[in-house]
Amino acid sequence: MVFNSLTFVVFFAVVLAVHSLPLPWGLKKLNLLLASYLFYAAWNPPFILLLWASTVVDWLVARQIHRQETHTRRKAWLIVSLVVNLGFLGFFKYGSFVLGNWAVLMNAVGVHYRQPEWNILLPVGISFYTFHSMSYTLDIYWRRVGPIPKLFDFALFVAFFTQLVAGPILRTSDLVPQFARPRTATRNQLCWGLALMTFGLFEKVVLADGAFAPVADAVFRAKGPVSSLDAWLGTLAFSGQIFCDFAGYSIVAIGAALCLGFNIPDNFRFPYAATGFSDFWRRWHISLSTWLRDYLYIPLGGNRKGEARTYTNLMVTMLLGGLWHGANWTFVVWGALHGFYLIINHAWINLSRQWFEARAPTGRGRRFLGLLVGRSITFTAVVVGWTVFRSESIRDAMTLLKGMAGLNGFVLPWNWQGHLSRVPESILQMFIFGDTPGFTGGSEVVWLLVLLGMVWIAPNTQEILRRHRPALNWQPEDRVIAAFQKLVWQPTLIWLAIISVGAVISISRLSAVSEFLYFQF
């Protein structure tokens, strides 16, 4: 079941209706737990056994870790949790990848090895709920939280359908305390939640699927090299697609939880307006980046053991973060690329503190120029990274990157020849007229300009609802508040009309169901 389907609309309406009845809190939580299992089982019912196993094992192991007094026994029980969770994840997600690379390695050294067939399906959302569940045993081990008395509450935390299959990745401290007392949305919370769900669906079905996906798919699925114009349009389109797709899912998740009376963390905060790559990862997929920071980077030593160790920890963290996204070398290279970006970012910060701090640009104009340059460099580098992320193979990524560098030539659509008759021949000789899979007219450029406007200027949903703070870790952006003081959600006819139009457009497009991109991770 996906959020952008009529099935989910009916499902959520029923769940919300039952949750609003004057029932005991225990029955309401049971309704949410059963609904969450139904939501997950809609893909493949047997895989719910994995979800149960991960839940029960981590709850029991956490209790044992808490009871042990010696460090050795605590670590032994933690290893049980890690082996079970990472074992499930490794078998189902990376089994075929490991076997395929092992076969290549054996054949490379002259050993004939025939890879066995691997027909294991990937359980949807396994990367997300594994991190949900595993974070609890790690927090218990590090004494960050106390044990959850009831298995029922922990099961609801792991399986809560709003964030089960594609995040945000929650900690028990985010959600479990909210299970302690009855929660039903107020009239205002219900309005805000439905507004967020409408915004999120609009981002997914209208912007991600309708505007950006056709251009991105045409370029990335093209057979053979593509020109510079097509390569850039396709990659920029995918940048818009993955942002609107994943941010749209997160917004729907936050809105659905709010309709039920719960608050979950925000997951995106103007990521393409970041200045520097540390800033980017404070804004993009916030729940994953903070998870990797708290459970991998800091335990490895963080930045406490010298520059060389810091850079090593950054690279290891991003390599594993890239691999978390999928069993393909493209994700590993993408992670390595962002690891390199972060190393350069940290080195530049250290250098600037030593040499340039006293010479920092003064005056509003110079500061703005510096900010513009920093954001432009960051955005361009992130877009280059998406080229590797989206490609099916390293070879395909290199072909597209060559196109972006202009090494595949500059091709314009055939139908442009008649419109460029007045352009000097010396300029036209720089271009070739031919097939352009991504660029068929001017609409692609218009949509890309809209994307950049949304990223750099327009407020996001959290800013529109800033007076009401619908997410747990919401933080204001001063630049947006100053420019859009009046663009705040209010219970007025104008906002009712805006949300109603968005809802009608979004629901009318739900017949063409497509999965969210992050479901494959």
List C-alpha distances in Å: 366 to 275, 279, 369: 15, 20, 5
Distance between CA atoms of residues 449 and 409, nearest Å? 24
Sign of CA dihedral 145, 469, 168, 394: negative
Q: Which of 264, 266, 310 has its CA nearest to residue 284?
A: 266
Matching residue, tokens 């590797």: 388
Are 463 and 255 spatial neighbours (Cβ–Cβ below 8 Å)?
no
List C-alpha distances in Å: 341 to 162, 268, 305: 33, 20, 20
Distance between CA atoms of residues 495 and 487, nearest Å? 10
Sign of CA dihedral 378, 385, 433, 450: negative
CA 215 to mean position of chain CA atoms:
21
Q: Identify the bridge partners of residue 411 per DSSP, sorted by sequence position.
A: 432
Catalytic residue, from 19, 132, 285, 325: name it: 325
Q: Identify the bridge partners of residue 413 per DSSP, sorted by sequence position.
A: 434
Two structure tokens written together for 459 = 């407020």
DSSP calls for 242-303:
HHHHHHHHHHHHHHHHHHTT-------S-GGG-SSHHHHHTTSSHHHHHHHIIIIITTTTTT
Are 115 and 100 spatial neighbours (Cβ–Cβ below 8 Å)?
yes
DSSP-based helix, strand, coil % in the chain, nearest 5: 70, 0, 30
* Burial label, 177 (beta-carbon count in 10 A; 0-12, 13-18, 19+): exposed
Matching residue, tokens 């006293």: 358
325 is catalytic: yes
The residues annotated as belonging to the active site are 325
